[in-house]
Structure 1
Amino acid sequence: MENREAVKSPQIVYNCYYTRSREGEQFIPEHILSYQLAGTLVMNDGNKEYFFKEGDIRFCKRNHLVKFIKTPPADGEFKSLSLYLDQETLRDFSLEYGIKPEENKNGDAVLTLNYNPLYQSYMNSLMPYLQESENIPTSLQALKLKEAILILLQANPELKNVLFDFAEPGKIDLERFMNKNFHFNVELKRFAYLTGRSLATFKRDFEKIFHSSPSRWLQHRRLQEAYFLIKEKGRAPSDVYLELGFEDLSHFSFAFKKTYGMAPSKLLA
């Protein structure tokens, strides 16, 4: 069977996978509230690994880079339900309810929310639409998103300062950021945005610091790390190429051989 993904609206998404899915990298542009219905999900933001099992509720903060692996249960399907809380919806909510956040301390990129019957009841109310392939009417979707925000504020009031922090990323240390996040396979405009720069400024600052173009440096840095992991740690090429930001094994093998004069598998001999 093939994997399938049912998307009923831009903001309420029901995922279903039959096979283990390692989807590599993901940039989280909006806050996401998710309910794990079946299977497990492992997420990694480069600093910390997060594990979610059936019944867990998680909150992913916007403007973070993550890697993830979706694993279905034995003879079953991976299932999750996610709500994307976009900035426009949250701005409208903050104006309607007069909410002003205090200082937002960044903290973890992903949070496990403690069990609360409000979350369970809310998620259950969405399932009839999603499982029966029914479209959620636009007006009802708006109400359900507002309900989700109200529940978040009641069950986890500390999230107020996260939900209604509309600040964009500020300019940060580019060298430190790139050396930490080079293994994420995202577009250069994402790196630029997360370091508080326009794409043009990002490229200009990058070449001043690294004396190379971003694309050339990223490939070289990823290949360096791949060489170390295979040679010194005994990792298989098939295990590291996605981990280091390469899109497919053949591209990784070609680039590695061009740089080091041998196929990556030869390092294990």
Structure 2
Amino acid sequence: MLKLEEKQRLSQIVYSCYFTRSREGEQFIPEHVFSYQIAGTLTTNDGHKDYTFGEGDFRFSRRNQLVKFFKQPPENGEFKSLSIYLDQETLRKFSLEYGYKAEAHQENDAVLELKPNVLYKSFMDSLVPYLQENQSVNRDLQALKLKEAILILLQANPELKDILFDFSEPGKLDLEGFMNKNYHFNVELKRFAYLTGRSLATFKRDFEKIFHASPSRWLQQRRLQEAHYLIKEKGKAPSDVYLELGFEDLSHFSFAFKKTYGIAPSKI
């Protein structure tokens, strides 16, 4: 049995198992992901809304998204999920082989709930023995499994064609609106630059024109402002706030907060 947290990866196929206690964090989703929630609950937030998935649920996560996550194992049990990463190279090859093309750019939610389908379950079940028993799976078999996953998704959800085969990179976005929505994600500036369709140099130049401050200074001040509001007006604990707002650790958050407001967050 897998203990604590263990992830077994067969290239783009990942089995995740987490035991005993909940976990939270954030991540950038670089590729489309087709996932099956085997046990426990996963809650994600893209800065706009929450998405919650329980045992037996299937989901599709779009690439180039920022999300926060909370993994909750069942009582006295393990958190388990199985995910298939559909990379751009695989999808381009599939597009050429089968003639699929995106007809329009789709601005969907970061994570889509997929309606139950017997094909999903049988496909995911076929992967579990390899992953749990550490069996070696050759590259050709992995490629076939990825192709099978794409075919199943398209059969059950034809509308996913415009997402799967949209190979465009992020266009130049409204920087002010994007940053006010995503400031609480703790990612490198180059990631923010990429997601807003800019080089790092252009991102910094545009940022200072709009906000009249450097990105790092503005991000810290904006996060501290929100932290002050959540602690004072909403009664949240500093230990709950610092991760939510993108700070590395509680001591760094407390130091920056006291320097700005003249009082420790725990004293408000």
Please indicate, yes or no, whether the TM-score normalized by the shorter chain is above 0.5: yes
Please give the alpha-carbon distance, in whole angstroms, between the structure 2 residues aligned to 1:19 and 1:174.
41
Per the TM alignment, residue 105 of structure 1 is displaced from its structure 2 partner at its CA by 2.2
Alpha-carbon spacing, 1:187–1:135, altered in 2? closer, same or farther (3 Å) = farther
**Distance of 2:264 and 2:227 partners within structure 1:** 12
TM-aligned CA deviation for residue 11 of structure 1: 0.6
Question: 1:23 is matched by which residue type in structure 2?
Answer: E
Shift of 1:156: 0.8
Could you say which residue in structure 2 is the equivalent of 1:206?
A: 207
C-alpha deviation, 1:139, in angstroms: 1.1
Report how far residue 168 of structure 1 moved: 0.6
Q: Does 1:106 align with 2:107?
A: yes
Superposition deviation, residue 37 in structure 1: 0.5
Does residue 63 of structure 1 match 2:95? no
Deviation at 1:2, TM superposition (A): 6.0
Match of 1:244 in 2: 245
State the 1:27 CA deviation.
Answer: 0.8
1:24-43 matches, cutoff 5 A = 24-43=25-44
Shift of 1:46: 1.1
Q: Are the aligned partners of 1:7 and 1:15 in contact in 2 as well (CA < 8 Å)?
A: yes
Amino acid of the structure 1 residue aligned with 2:144: L
Alignment of 1:11-90 (within 5 A): 11-90=12-91
* Residue of structure 2 equivalent to 1:163: 164
- Per the alignment, in what secondary structure is the counterpart of residue 241 of structure 1? helix
Contact residue 30 and residue 63 of structure 1 kept, 8 A: yes
Aligned to 1:191: 192
Structure 1 runs not aligned, ≥5 long? none
What are the residue-to-residue correspondences of 1:117-266 with 2, within 5 Å? 117-266=118-267
Contact 2:48–2:181, Cα closer than 8 Å, also in 1: no
Report the 3-state secondary structure (helix = DSSP H, G, I; strand = E; otherwise coil) of the residue aligned with 1:245.
coil
Letter in 1 for 2:213: S
TM-score relative to the length of structure 2 = 0.97
Query: What whole-Å deviation, never above 9, does each CA across 1:200-221 have from its counterpart, x for those lacking one?
Result: 1101111111111111110110
Q: Decide whether the 8 Å contact of 1:20 with 1:69 is kept in 2.
A: no
8 Å contact from structure 1 (residues 23, 68) kept in 2 = yes
SS of aligned partner of 2:131: helix
2:18/2:80 contact within 8 Å kept: yes
Q: Scaled by the length of structure 1, what TM-score is found?
A: 0.96
Question: How far apart are the structure 2 equivalents of 1:207 and 1:108?
Answer: 29
Mapped to 2, the partners of 1:222 and 1:62 lie a distance apart of 25
Number of equivalent positions = 267
Q: In the alignment, which residue of structure 1 is the partner of 2:4?
A: 3
Distance in 1, matches of 2:193 and 2:3, equals 36
